[in-house]
Amino acid sequence: MSDVLILNGRLADPASGVDVERDVLLQDGRVAAVERPGGLAGAKAKETIDASGMIVAPGLVDVHVHLREPGQTYKESIATGTAAAAAGGFTSVVAMPNTVPVNDSVAGLEWMLDAARGACVKLFAMPAATFGSMGEEITDFHELAQAGAVGFTDDGKPVLHERVMRRALVAAAGIGVPVSQHAEDTRLTGGCSMNAGPVAFRLGLRGMTVEAEARIVERDIRLLRDIERQDGLRPHLHVQHVSTAKAMSLIREAKAAGLHVTCEVAPHHFTLTDEAVGDYDTNAKMNPPLRAEVDRMAMIAGLMDGTVDCIATDHAPHALFEKEQEFERAPNGITGLETALGLALRVLHKGQGMTVSRVVELMSAQPAGIVSLEGRGTLKVGSFGDVVVFDPAAEWRFEAKRSRSKSRNTPFDGAGMVGKVMATICEGRVVYRG
Amino acid sequence: MKTSGYAAGSLLTVADLPVAEIAAILAATDRIERMSDADRARMLAGRRIALLFYESSTRTRTSFELAAKSLGAITTLVSDKSSSIEKGESLKDTGLTLRALGAECIILRHPNSGAPYLLAKATGLPVLNAGDGMHEHPSQALLDLRTILARVPGVNAGRIDAKTLAGVTVVITGDILHSRVARSNAMLLPKLGARVLLCGPRELLPEDALGLGSAGNTGSVAIERDFDTALRRAQVVMMLRIQRERLAGLELDIGDYIARYQLNEERLAACAPNAVVMHPGPMIRGMEIAGEVADGPNSAIEEQVRHGLAVRTALLVRALGVGGFESVTV
């Protein structure tokens, strides 16, 4: 008997160019068959999902989450964070290394990826690019890649020193994985807690400038060009959570020039502006910060024209007591796994006319491609049975108190969402039912 | 900025203060000032007011305390140096403790912008913002307004509306970037029709400051970098101290700054011989202002301090919902 049979849905599998009614059969954790409606009439399964009126898509992939384990499990754990992922339609997540201690060793990576952690969706990790994410000495990329690293990053901090970043790009190029950069020139952002501009001025808060993001993006792109010319390698730079129009246009130019640059945009950066800080709402504080309307529109333009490769949440849980502080003292970050699809469909599909299939592509096939997840981000026969079934027309309100995450730090409590996850299936196991 | 969700009688910002409310505060100030000491001392007799100060202060703390005492209130001062704040107690817990001890209103000075919002939300008590970081100093702007109404010729202080300060140009000069006084004044005075001219070098006055202006106001906010040009248009000139403690690595050529922006006798006589000179204090004589000007006939600096005491009595009465503000508080 097969694992799961999904009937009567509309299959959106951009990787195979399919966007029509199809029935899907999952067996032994893989996609066993994809047939025209009725084509699987004889099949029997332990579980049958009636997906009438629903989209059946590859499980979503998030290349940027903070699961806080080890070290800060009062904020989140691998088990709770991946439960939130499942509720948001994600079947693969990539954990950032800024845990306590920093994930910079094979032992640390293996511990994190161990089944004993209780991940309910597929967990991948990007270990630190430098020891302790101190930005000085690069970690052992070869060893870590063999242990499962899908990229390297010092996320939360940039790799500031040019020669260190160059070394990291060269080392990663040899393995074929990206260096994922948090683009922030921290020499320009000391003491800053939101976007620079009239709102920050009025609130009396020091602001992070557009230049602080753009300067690092500009430098890293220059390094790519130099390495291609001088070393004959083709390094892959992944720019995390792009937030400014200026950085977006630098990335657009670099892509046009043929360099291997990819980038992600977070839902909050295409949904909100710095006005959302309002009365010092610490749930609207993250890094990079919410920017001006012109930047928000540039994120949407980048998503529409293909400059942006994927949507990533930067899911960053923090405990209530940490966010119930003076704005400048509160930590950066918001949760995002359970609101990403609802915001993407609301803002990009309903608001901008992007097709549902394209939204799916930006949240599955393309992020899977960035970190080379074989057999994920698609529902071709033979690939992993990672599926999300969602009602693309359902309109609902997100309630933070119903979140699967341990933390509640979201600016989207009560916000309107479009598209509701009805089921999430990871390697043939139903991990969430809406 | 919305203030719903905060106790009525709170004063966190001037940004959302309607003109009618400004008029009511000024009218209450006049009423309380005219009262006999004995009548005044009955207004808040036995009411409990906490002063919570995370930053040093001379004028603001003393005048709030004297204002509260003149109204008969019981005050208690908590400062970060001599309390459990030193042991790491959060602002929220400090506020809840004061509330549990019977505080009915908290006056807060804090080095972080926005801290009064956090306290007001956490305690549900009326909170008076006595200066938060680089954000606002609402009671200072109100006392500055009262000083302007008293000193500038031709202004009808008896009628407070959107045109009361029409035709009046107020020049604010100096470290605008770090100044909560500048922000509050630039947001308050244009509501009554004043034109606020901000003046200073780019490092201390970014273009983003123009965002303090609001389309709904009869007055306006503009930038004029040349001090002499600004002064020639001024009926009022407010000088601000350079806030060395907040400069954060910014380097200024002090000699050049003094040459371009110090208010001295020659400059005042040449450009604005009749202007009212104001300073929120603390002032650094010989830096932004010459001693002769601070002590000269144009100066309203000591009057500002006296108006501060008066305005703060009205703000306390408003916070606790008495003396004409009964409808404000539930």
Cα–Cα dist B312/B306, whole Å: 10
Kindly tell me if the per-residue pLDDT of B245 is higher than 90: no
Domain A58-378 is found in CATH 3.20.20.140: yes
| Tens digit of each residue's pLDDT (9 = 90 or more) over B288-311 | 999 999 999 999 999 999 999 999
The kind and range of the H/E element at A373 are none
Token couple for A189: 């952002």
| CB nearest A205 (choices: B1, B113, B136) | B113
Residue identified by tokens 């969700």 is B5
Q: How many angstroms separate the first and last alpha carbons of chain A?
A: 25
pLDDT band for B324, please (50, 70, 90 cuts): confident
| Model pLDDT, residue A1 | 52
Residue identified by tokens 């719903």 is B4
- Listed in sequence order, the residues at least 6 apart from A47 whose beta carbon sits closer than 8 Å to its beta carbon are A3, A4, A5, A430
Report chain B residues whose CB lies below 8 A from the CB of A279.
Answer: 1-3, 12, 114, 117
Total residue length of chain B: 330
Token couple for B293: 């000007």
- ipTM reported for the complex, 2 dp: 0.95
Cα–Cα dist B90/B41, whole Å: 34
Kindly tell me if the per-residue pLDDT of A344 is higher than 70: yes
Cα–Cα dist A131/A154, whole Å: 9
CB neighbourhood size of A142 (10 A): 12
Report chain A residues whose CB lies below 8 A from the CB of B92.
Answer: 324-325
Q: Which amino acid is at B60?
A: T
From A314, A386, A391, A413, active-site residue: A314
Token couple for A339: 């609101």
Contact check, Cβ <8 Å, B134/A205: yes
Cα–Cα dist B130/A320, whole Å: 27
Q: What is the pTM of this model?
A: 0.95
A197 part of contact set with chain B, CB < 8 Å: yes
Beta strand pairing status for A416-426 and A387-397?
antiparallel
| Cα–Cα distance list, A121 to A64, A90, A379, A428 (Å) | 14, 7, 16, 11
Cis peptide leading into residue A235 (ω within 30°) = no
3-state secondary structure of A243: coil
Kindly tell me if the per-residue pLDDT of B257 is higher than 90: yes
Kindly tell me if the per-residue pLDDT of B157 is higher than 60: yes
Kindly tell me if the per-residue pLDDT of B235 is higher than 70: yes
Contact check, Cβ <8 Å, A326/B114: yes
Q: What are the residues facing A265 on neighbouring strands?
A: A311
CB neighbourhood size of A257 (10 A): 12
Cis peptide leading into residue A101 (ω within 30°) = yes
Token couple for A220: 């890293």
Angle, to 10 degrees, between the axis of helix A293-305 and the axis of helix A245-256?
Answer: 30
Contact indicator for A30, A384 with CB cutoff of 8 Å: yes
| CB nearest A197 (choices: B114, B117, B208) | B208
Contact check, Cβ <8 Å, A279/B3: yes
| CB nearest A198 (choices: B91, B211, B249) | B211
Domains in chain B: ranges and CATH: 19-136+307-319 (3.40.50.1370), 138-301 (3.40.50.1370)
What DSSP state is assigned to residue B276?
A: E
CB neighbourhood size of B102 (10 A): 11
CB neighbourhood size of A74 (10 A): 14
CA torsion A257-A262-A267-A272 (nearest 10°) is -40
CA distance A299 to chain B (A): 23
CA torsion B315-B321-B322-B324 (nearest 10°) is 80
Best residue in A210, A280, A324 for a mutation probing chain B (most B CBs within 10 Å): A280
Kindly tell me if the per-residue pLDDT of A62 is higher than 60: yes
Cα–Cα dist A247/A241, whole Å: 10
Token couple for B252: 């200024």
Residue-wise DSSP of B186-210: HHHGGGGTPEEEEE--TTTS-GGGG
pLDDT band for B3, please (50, 70, 90 cuts): very low
Kindly tell me if the per-residue pLDDT of B2 is higher than 50: no
Token couple for A185: 């020139």
CA-CA-CA-CA torsion sign (B19, B20, B26, B30): positive
Report chain B residues whose CB lies below 8 A from the CB of A325.
Answer: 90-92, 118
CB neighbourhood size of B222 (10 A): 14
The residue-averaged pLDDT of A116-131 equals 98
Kindly tell me if the per-residue pLDDT of B330 is higher than 50: no
| φ/ψ (deg, to 5) at B228 | -60, -45
pLDDT band for B1, please (50, 70, 90 cuts): very low
| Tens digit of each residue's pLDDT (9 = 90 or more) over B38-91 | 999 999 999 999 999 999 888 999 999 999 999 999 999 998 887 888 888 999
- Listed in sequence order, the residues at least 6 apart from A165 whose beta carbon sits closer than 8 Å to its beta carbon are A159, A179, A181, A219, A220, A223
Radius of gyration of chain B (CA): 19
Cα–Cα dist A316/A331, whole Å: 10
Report chain A residues whose CB lies below 8 A from the CB of B188.
Answer: none
Contact indicator for A31, A395 with CB cutoff of 8 Å: no
Q: Using alpha carbons only, give the angle A232, A235, A237 rounded to the nearest 5 degrees.
A: 155
3-state secondary structure of A114: coil
Report chain A residues whose CB lies below 8 A from the CB of B208.
Answer: 196-198, 200-201, 207
Beta strand pairing status for A60-65 and A207-208?
unpaired
| Tens digit of each residue's pLDDT (9 = 90 or more) over A266-323 | 999 999 999 999 999 999 999 999 999 999 999 999 999 999 999 999 999 999 999 9
| φ/ψ (deg, to 5) at A178 | -85, 155
CA distance B183 to chain A (A): 7
Cα–Cα dist A416/B128, whole Å: 35
Spatial CA neighbour of B10 closest among B323, B314, B318, B330: B318
Q: Using alpha carbons only, give the angle B249, B250, B254 rounded to the nearest 5 degrees.
A: 125
Spatial CA neighbour of A28 closest among A46, A50, A16, A55: A46
Q: Mean pLDDT of all residues in chain B?
A: 94
The kind and range of the H/E element at A73 are none
Q: Searching chain A, which residue's CA lies closest to the CA of residue B180?
A: A204
Cα–Cα dist B302/B294, whole Å: 9
Cα–Cα dist B5/B14, whole Å: 16
| Cα–Cα distance list, A255 to A232, A251, A282, A299, B277 (Å) | 18, 6, 35, 16, 58
Best residue in B85, B112, B176 for a mutation probing chain A (most A CBs within 10 Å): B112
Residue identified by tokens 């994922």 is A180
Spatial CA neighbour of B325 closest among B16, B99, B32: B32
Mark whether A314 is an active-site residue. yes
Token couple for A69: 């384990």
